[in-house]
Amino acid sequence: MKCHSVAILFFFSFSLLFLCCLSQNSTQTQSPSIACKSTPYPKLCRSILSAFKSSPSSPYNYGKFSVKQCTKQAQKLSKTIRHYLTHEKQRSRFSHAEAGALTDCGELMELNVDYLRSISGELKEAESMTDEFVDRVTSLLSGIVTNQQTCFDELVDSKSGIAAVLYEPLSNVTRLYSVSLGLVTHALDRNLRRNKKRSKRSKNWFLKNTNRFREPLETLIKDIRKAPCHDCHKGERNLGEVESNGILVNQSVIVSPHGTDNFTTIGDAIAFSPNNSKPEDGYFVIYAREAVYEEYVVVPKHKKNLLLIGDGINRTVITGNHSVIDGWTTFNSSTFAVSGERFVAVDVTFKNTAGPAKHQAVALRNNADLSSFYRCSFEGYQDTLYVHSLRQFYRECDIYGTVDFIFGNAAAVFQNCNIYARKPMPNQKNAVTAQGRTDPNQNTGIAIQNCSIVAAPDFAKDLNSTATTLNYLGRPWKEFSRTVYMQSYIGDLISPVGWLEWNGTVGLDTLYYGEFRNYGPGANTTMRVKWPGYSLMNASQALNFTVYNFTMGDTWLPDTDIPFCGGLVVSGGN
């Protein structure tokens, strides 16, 4: 198979330049009542913009104003959550589940403050904005809405009394975030009507530096696997002014549990890595030798540009068994959690061995922007892979699970992956995906392209003998759930109707579920659901969900040197 070059002629509506041109056209005014029609809460929007005193009254200025209001409220909410967490008298009243949910909320609220500060700061450079920046703004605002929803869901799930206390402030701020997202995307739409051509994307090659080197990913992997530990230090290799494809490397360390290398745990290697590194600094490489690492790993928000390399699937294994049944929140049940942007993992297995009876038990949670996983496996049962938020890419990975085992609200693209349904508990139904989009303006969804959806080997035997378990492509976790399957093999395990309701008719007319040129015994669409939100996509619709259009992957994936298809695939080789 190969990529179809026609993809560059199409674009997804959230990935185009808007603020640069809007600032140039800022004299074109618009009334708040018209601008607010683009938001889910027009009345609230008009109330917010009634305090807008600047001139001119343009969509661009409305957007900037709303971001400022969001920042103020996010800081207040973060302070409130922190108060509950840091005052011993307050904390002592909480159950374990409540404390866990509040801890997650604290982390998510801090992320929201960071994201909004980043947006506000970069908006000051509006005259020099690119389409990459616009996609980043939309992605961060979408992530902010998702973080808020996650906090609220976890408080409710914990049956916390504090959920009632925080319900109103959480709901108010959630609506405010949605208003800001709507205003910004409305400004984008206005810009699109004036600018038919896409701005030229920069190659974004990293700056040259004599302490860094760029080389192909496969060469790097081979070199680091055979390198003794004394070669693992900074600035030793310099390839000069390299302009060819490859990955820019700053420093590398080696992990093994035997005490013969730099670190014995992956967590210690991450802690040693630099804070807040920039793309031009290069990747900090962590090579984890073949072993089973029984540890719970967190890549926090300030640990950016990390590249984790293992010795292969089922050779370098990171494993844990936290679950909701055992008192963990879904968000923090993960064996491995990533928040630091531009994280890359290659040749690693991530496991949660809690088992199907423990219900939600996450192997990997990913809320890192511009993150990539290549030749990795994710093994669990319910809620295996939590694609929580922001832009993500998975290539040639294996994902195993039962109920909702790929779930979340990222803009996530899966290419050339093997997706394996496992045997669930009795009377359970398997759903491959549970996408959690809550706002129609979020640029999020799950796109599964050129993948294989089949039963895991042990489950396949069971299906052949009994065929009692029902399996589905997905179900709508949230009202605006969005998932597409394109050019993928769908095995006979999938029910002819294809998709499953979550809660009666909720979301069936607001979701977006699409299929495009899939094949295999489970790909027959003649008996598919007849929901208003389900469609058989044509080529132009499918192109909206490709790497090029859905995540603007062509602007950041080349820096990882991971192979990817930017558009649709056609027969005729790789």
What is the per-residue pLDDT for 230?
47
What is the per-residue pLDDT for 208?
36
pLDDT reading at 185 higher than 90: no
Question: Which ranges in the chain are annotated with CATH 2.160.20.10?
Answer: 210-344, 402-563
pLDDT reading at 265 higher than 80: yes
The gap from C-alpha 142 to its chain's centroid, in whole angstroms, comes to 11
Residue 94: pLDDT band (50, 70, 90) is confident
Which residues have a catalytic role annotated?
404
Output phi, psi for 284, to 5 deg.
-90, 115
Higher pLDDT, 5 or 304: 304
Give the class (CATH, top level) of 32-197: mainly alpha
Output phi, psi for 75, to 5 deg.
-65, -40
How far is 167 from 157, CA to CA, in rounded Å? 13
pLDDT reading at 82 higher than 80: yes
What is the per-residue pLDDT for 102?
93
Relative to beta strand 371-374, strand 349-352 is: unpaired
pLDDT reading at 243 higher than 60: no
Task: Specify the DSSP class assigned to residue 263.
Answer: B
When pLDDT is averaged across residues 44-69 and rounded to a whole number, the result is 87
Residue 9: pLDDT band (50, 70, 90) is very low
**Coil/strand/helix, residue 528:** coil
How far is 1 from 574, CA to CA, in rounded Å? 5
Two tokens, residue 381 = 């049962």
What is the per-residue pLDDT for 92?
72
What is the per-residue pLDDT for 467?
60
When pLDDT is averaged across residues 329-342 and rounded to a whole number, the result is 97
Higher pLDDT, 63 or 452: 452
When pLDDT is averaged across residues 471-478 and rounded to a whole number, the result is 98
For the chain, the C-alpha Rg in angstroms (whole number) is 23
What is the per-residue pLDDT for 226?
84
In the CATH scheme, what is the code of domain 402-563? 2.160.20.10
pLDDT reading at 204 higher than 60: no
212-241 burial, b for 16+ CB within 10 Å, e for fewer? bbbbebeebbeebbeeeeeebeeeeeeeee
How far is 533 from 548, CA to CA, in rounded Å? 24
Residue 165: pLDDT band (50, 70, 90) is confident
How far is 342 from 339, CA to CA, in rounded Å? 9
Output phi, psi for 88, to 5 deg.
-60, -35
When pLDDT is averaged across residues 498-512 and rounded to a whole number, the result is 96
Q: What is the dihedral of CA 261, 265, 268, 273, to 10 degrees?
A: 60
DSSP result, 372-441: EEES-EEE-STT-EEE-SSEEEEES-EEEESEEEEEESSEEEEES-EEEE---STT--EEEEEE---STT
The gap from C-alpha 564 to its chain's centroid, in whole angstroms, comes to 17
Higher pLDDT, 313 or 95: 313
User: With pLDDT > 70 as the criterion, what percentage of the chain qualifies?
Assistant: 84
pLDDT reading at 448 higher than 60: yes
Task: Return the minimum-mean-pLDDT range out of 149-163, 213-227, 241-255.
Answer: 241-255
What is the per-residue pLDDT for 169?
87
Cβ(566)–Cβ(8) below 8 Å:
yes
Residue 133: pLDDT band (50, 70, 90) is confident
Mean pLDDT score across all residues of the chain = 87
When pLDDT is averaged across residues 427-448 and rounded to a whole number, the result is 97
What is the per-residue pLDDT for 312?
98
Relative to beta strand 349-352, strand 489-490 is: unpaired
What is the per-residue pLDDT for 88?
65
State which amino acid sits at residue 166: L
pLDDT reading at 516 higher than 60: yes
pLDDT reading at 11 higher than 70: no
DSSP result, 73-117: HHHHHHHHHHHHHH-HHHHTTS-HHHHHHHHHHHHHHHHHHHHHH
Q: Is the pTM of this model over 0.85?
A: yes
Residue 491: pLDDT band (50, 70, 90) is very high
What is the per-residue pLDDT for 95?
83
Higher pLDDT, 148 or 573: 148
How far is 190 from 187, CA to CA, in rounded Å? 5
Residue 454: pLDDT band (50, 70, 90) is very high
Query: Which residues are within 8 A (CB) of 296 and not within 5 positions of it... i.e. 6 or more apart?
Result: 267, 320, 322, 334, 335, 336
| Domain range 210-344, its CATH number among 2.160.20.10, 3.40.50.300, 3.40.50.720, 3.30.565.10 | 2.160.20.10
Question: Which ranges in the chain are annotated with CATH 1.20.140.40?
Answer: 32-197
CA atoms within 13 A on the CB side of 339: 21
Summarize pLDDT for 154-163 with one digit per residue, the tens.
998 888 777 7
How long a stretch of residues is the chain?
Answer: 574
Residue 171: count other Cβ atoms within 10 Å of its Cβ: 12
